[in-house]
Structure 1
């Protein structure tokens, strides 16, 4: 019985790319804007341990999957997430080399991730589905609005585009495993509310930690610019809200937002973006 909902023409397979962004991360790489740089860096700080947890949660159920297509996609999902974790660990190491207290930020997040790992398998997988929805929606926004990253250095634009492409490709893999093995709509929605709280909490705390180290935590100009970026114009979070909330609909499925054409264009753009020296 076919249970994969990944549409035809979408391949879930890791790309073995490497990104040397160590020089970029010595600067405010996003157009010399402290808030925008800190916001994306704050997201990166959650990825290595977060994506390893996604892998662990899916692995708990993969022996129960018989659909050959979904089994292959699970392998691709694990490969993609493992490479994301590797590249963002190097990214975060470069932030540490810049002088940020990344160890303290990691300890704060790892305490949460240890709590997550003690939850039941079904809750761990439901949490993975919720978190994957957030990454998929943000990925779609980044790919749909390349102008949002226009101020970033070429290296960083390439890294974030690559990550966004692969998050889009595998956006239904964990969800399909959940629907087949658990399928509890109420649990899926309730866990999503917890994921929402923790996603925004740690993104906010990480952003504050980085801005504090930069001496910009109490800068009104920095925060006004940041709030405009997230909620005003362009309004990154504001524009994503309808797609975030779509997860709470009964019968939601990730590929109801069919962005295959966008994915194809983005892949072409990625191939045309030359790797830059670090």
Structure 2
């Protein structure tokens, strides 16, 4: 049996959720808003790629876990996309951003990359999201966020940790080529960081906060001095470069228990 549970969630993001729902911080709010804009289509790309590979997986346990991975990622896409209605009601416009994202994801990555490179990219993205998920739960990163958004990101983080080995194992089931693995994580980080940065700048610009000194001070604190987000994610990411790396080597499954009420 798969150790991964597909949870049917039904988040309701009411209009009462504030414009700056993360501790009244425009920077932190829009940083995670930009992640919420990226997730749904990113998840669709990943689940479709893994779904097409299912029939080629010869390990019954891995096939079960890959099916559960697909189920969890589908839920992540649906639940994050629900929050888009709130962003639109607050006056944000991001349809052009989504068209560009979908062109790169589906016309370029999905249609042009080989299955090896697509799976290597997905394994790299999963390593990145696992690094963020670890921080979210280990350091209670969303303690200052509005409860419903805290619940969304903590549930998502718990499931990222729960299925952290799947994408890597599916990639390894196709090829164990170290160079392709490294190229995959390079593509993944370039893609994620590029679109998160683009989304962040877009949201801050529309909010007339892009040139606000306080916002840039918040960024420096969050990334480098207080939460040290960049340093911690970077250190976690370095593990991927070991030749004998496997996601299971990171002992963080206990963090899932912090949000066991989602089970």
TM-score range, shorter chain: over 0.9
Cα separation, partners in 2 of 1:58 and 1:24, compared to 1, 3 Å:
farther
d(CA) in 2 for partners of 1:122, 1:66:
16
| Contact kept in structure 2, 1:39 and 1:207, CA below 8 Å | yes
Worse overlay, 36-45 or 100-109: 100-109
Cα deviation for residue 154 of structure 1 reads 0.8
Distance in 2, Cα, partners of 1:93 & 1:48: 13
Residue 57 of structure 2: aligned partner: 65
Confirm or deny: 8 A CA contact 1:12 1:76 kept in the other structure. Answer: yes
Deviations 1:131-181 (A, max 9, x none): 1111111001101011x2111011111111100011111111111111112
Q: Which residues in structure 2 correspond to 1:206-245 (within 5 Å)?
A: 206-245=199-238
CA positional deviation for 1:93 = 2.8
CA distance in 1, matches of 2:82, 2:88: 10
- Is 1:29 aligned with 2:21? yes
1:150 aligns with 2:143: yes
Residue 25 (structure 1) shift: 4.7
Give the TM-score normalised by the residue count of structure 1: 0.89
1:1-278 correspondence runs (5 A):
11-23=3-15, 25-113=17-105, 114-118=107-111, 119-146=113-140, 148-268=141-261, 270=262
Structure 1 residue 97: Cα displacement: 2.4
From the superposition, tell whether residues 24 and 205 of structure 1 become closer, same or farther in structure 2 (CA, over 3 Å). farther
**Aligned partners of 1:182, 1:153: CA distance in 2, in Å?**
43
**2:159–2:256 CA contact under 8 A, matched in 1:** no
Residue 43 of structure 1 and its aligned partner are, at CA, apart by 0.5
After TM superposition, the structure 1 stretch with the greater mean CA deviation from structure 2, 18-27 or 197-206, is 18-27
Partner Cα separation in structure 2 for residue 176 and residue 90 of structure 1: 30
Task: Spell out, residue by residue over 1:221-267, the C-alpha distance to the aligned partner (whole angstroms, 9 max, x if none).
Answer: 11111121112111122222111121122121111102122222332
TM-score normalised by L of structure 2:
0.94
CA contact (8 A) 1:14 1:80 kept: yes
Deviation, structure 1 residue 34? 0.3
Q: For residue 81 of structure 1, report the CA deviation from its aligned partner.
A: 0.4
Q: Please report how far the alpha carbon of residue 24 of structure 1 lies from its aligned counterpart in structure 2 after TM superposition.
A: 5.0
Unaligned runs of 5+ in 2: none
Alpha-carbon displacement from aligned partner over 1:98-141 (angstroms, at most 9, x marks no partner)? 21112122112112112111211111111111011111110011
The two structures, once aligned, show a CA RMSD in angstroms of 1.6
- In structure 1, stretches of 5+ residues that fail to align are 1-7, 272-278
Worse-superposed segment, 196-205 or 75-84: 196-205
